Every structure is written in C-alpha cells, then in structure tokens.
Amino acid sequence: MPMSAYPPGYAPGTSVTSYGTISYPLQRHDVMHEVGPLETLWRIAKAYDVSVQEIMTANRLSDPNKLEIGQKLLIPSTYGLRPVIPLYHTRPWTYIIIHHTATETGNAIFINRSHKQRGFWGGLGYHFLIDNGTLGKLDGQIEVSPRWVKQEDGAHCNVQGMNQHGIGVALVGNFSQTQVSGRQLDSLVFLVSTLMKHYRIPINRVMRHGDVPGKNTECPGTKFPWKRFMSLLEAELRSS
C-alpha cells in the first residue's frame, strides 16, 4: 500500500510531534533504512534530520507517496536516528500498558507479520514498539505502529477496555529470560513520559500488562525492572 511522504494525515484533528535526542552521536554518514508498516517518507526524514528531497534524490524516487513495507532506502549524510513521536488530540487515552514481545528478536515488520498470522485485525497490535538491536534496527529504536498513526484501538490487552483506552507499548525481548537493555529502558522512559505529559495520564495508570485486573500473564516478564523503570520515570517527570 502506498504511504504518504507528508505529516501524519491518517487521523483527524490536530497533531504535534515530539523529538528525542539522537541515539548514537556520530559524524554525518550514510545509513540504510528499511521501511516499516505505514512509515512515511516525511517521518523517516524527520527521524534522520534530513530532507524528504535528499532521500528522494539519493534513491531516485519520483513519487514521495509510494513506499512499500520492507523497501530499503539510502539515508544520506545523517548524524543518526532520533525518535519521532506523533501526538494527537483525537482520543482521550487514559492508560499506558507495558508489554514484552516474548521473542528474542523482532521489529515492526516481524511483529506485524506475526500478529497477522495469529489473526489480529490490522496486524501489529501495539501502538509503539521499542527494538532490541535485532533484525536491522537499533537497540532502543522506537517504531510507531499504524494503529497509533490512525489513532485506532489496540490489540494488546483485551480486558478492562484497555484496547480502547490504553496505549500499548511493547519492548522486543523475552524478559522472563533476559534483561532489558539500558537503551531500551531509556527509550521507554522518554516515550512514556512524553505520552503521559501530552495526555495527562497519571503515573498510577502506567501498568504492566500482567497488572491489569482480569489478565493472567507474566508480561512484560518476571525479570522486567519495573521498580527501576518507575524510579527513572518519576525522576524524568520531576525534571520536566
């Protein structure tokens, strides 16, 4: 399906965008980027702090609206990747639910395919995915789901109305077996604090999947550093 090059237009109403810092501060260099589900040329350009036209020229693209999932793009002369979080005024999100993918590897393309195979309507069930450095993505890279861009219900927690009212955030990994990386945790704090401030979500409504009443699961994993995460989140909220 062709994807627009321009600012998020799939959800009605006004949107703003929050930018994080560059993940890996380096000199300008060329990188390859694999297009994820519903990713736009505009958002890719913003993430790498280059222009849409520079990417089009480097890849000999004639139509900025024609990108395909899995397409490889050369990103010229970038300092590195920074998170780009679109924020909307269209839905009163009231919870944030934290998950793990329970997989050793993954990215938005991989999880999207997996969820479609499992019968999830619309594929990728989370609103955001934080990568672990596998399948061509950076450790701590934040990917935005089509559900978020379209401001649709999630498919991540089917009790207590959380698919309708809760923002689903998943980290790639199985945290009943392994540890969350430092970069993933930093990205989670940045993302959750950004969402909390924009949607005025109190910290007691940031929940582990397994803490939602009626949900019998150890997600986001028995080794997930919840106390450490909440401490970092509280510190970030106090400092902003």
At residue 7, does pLDDT exceed 70? no
Q: In the prediction, which pLDDT does 27 show? A: 86
pLDDT band at 240 (very low <50, low <70, confident <90, very high): confident
Same domain, 101 and 135: yes
Average of per-residue pLDDT across 48-74 = 96
- Mean per-residue pLDDT of the chain: 91
Average of per-residue pLDDT across 179-186 = 96
Same domain, 79 and 97: no
Same domain, 235 and 205: yes
pLDDT tens across 187-216, in order?
A: 999 999 999 999 999 999 999 999 999 999
CATH classification at residue 233: 3.40.80.10
Neighbours of 63 (CB within 10 A): 10
Same domain, 143 and 223: yes
Last residue of a domain, one of 85, 113, 141: 85
Same domain, 134 and 25: no
Does residue 122 form part of some domain? yes
Domain, as residue range, for 137: 91-239
**Overall domain count for the chain:** 2
Q: In the prediction, which pLDDT does 121 show? A: 82
Same domain, 214 and 186: yes
Does residue 189 form part of some domain? yes
Q: How far apart are CA 38 and CA 40, in angstroms?
A: 6
Q: For tokens 């927690």, name the residue.
A: 157
Q: How far is CA 132 from the centre of its chain?
A: 12
Q: How far apart are CA 184 and CA 209, in angstroms?
A: 17
Same domain, 43 and 130: no
What are the two backbone dihedrals, phi and then psi, of residue 198, each rounded to the nearest 5 degrees? Answer: -70, -40
Same domain, 62 and 104: no
Same domain, 30 and 109: no
Last residue of a domain, one of 32, 61, 85: 85
Beta-strand runs (E) in 12-109: 15-19, 29-34, 72-78, 84-88, 95-100
Helix (H) or strand (E) holding 48: helix 41-48
CATH classification at residue 23: 3.10.350.10
Same domain, 107 and 59: no
At residue 180, does pLDDT exceed 60? yes
Same domain, 74 and 185: no
Does residue 6 form part of some domain? no
Last residue of a domain, one of 32, 51, 85: 85
pLDDT tens across 77-125, in order?
A: 998 898 899 999 999 999 999 999 999 999 999 999 999 999 988 899 9
At residue 3, does pLDDT exceed 70? no
- Check: CB of residue 76 under 8 Å from CB of residue 54: yes
Q: How far apart are CA 189 and CA 221, in angstroms?
A: 17
At residue 8, does pLDDT exceed 60? no
Same domain, 72 and 145: no
At residue 16, does pLDDT exceed 80? no
pLDDT band at 10 (very low <50, low <70, confident <90, very high): very low
Does residue 96 form part of some domain? yes
Does residue 123 form part of some domain? yes
Q: How far apart are CA 207 and CA 210, in angstroms?
A: 8
Q: For tokens 């040329």, name the residue.
A: 41
Does residue 10 form part of some domain? no
Does residue 169 form part of some domain? yes
